[in-house]
Amino acid sequence: MFEIQLGVAGEVVMVGRLDATHCDAALRFLDALGEPRVIDLARLDYIASAGLRVFLITQKRVKSSGGGIKLINVKQQIYDIFRYAGFDRIIDIARGTA
């Protein structure tokens, strides 16, 4: 199961498991927003390598217009995946408190 939607403050909220079967839908959603700035991952339980591509493509697109994305409430196990892939050097990532 994977869901992506806008939160009450305009942030993007991802829920569930971002694997290869959901990446195209996630990219379409993010592309339709223009320039998403904040993505809340508090309820993201799993990310596959294909899911990392979603963030890389989005970061490159937003950065090309002078912006950047920020990931918030990132669980430790998800943060570790981003860090191992070196994404912590190209994307602003704020770990959750839990």
All domains of the chain, ordered by start, with CATH?
2-95 (3.30.750.24)
Residue 62 pLDDT more than 80? yes
Q: Mean of the pLDDT values across residues 1-29?
A: 96
Residue 98 pLDDT more than 60? no
pLDDT score at 12: 97
What's the pLDDT tens digit per position in 38-56?
999 999 999 999 999 999 9
Q: If DSSP states are collapsed to H, E and C, what string results for 17-81?
A: EECCCCHHHHHHHHHHCCCCCEEEEEEEEEECHHHHHHHHHHHHHHHCCCCCCEEEEECHHHHHH
pLDDT score at 97: 61
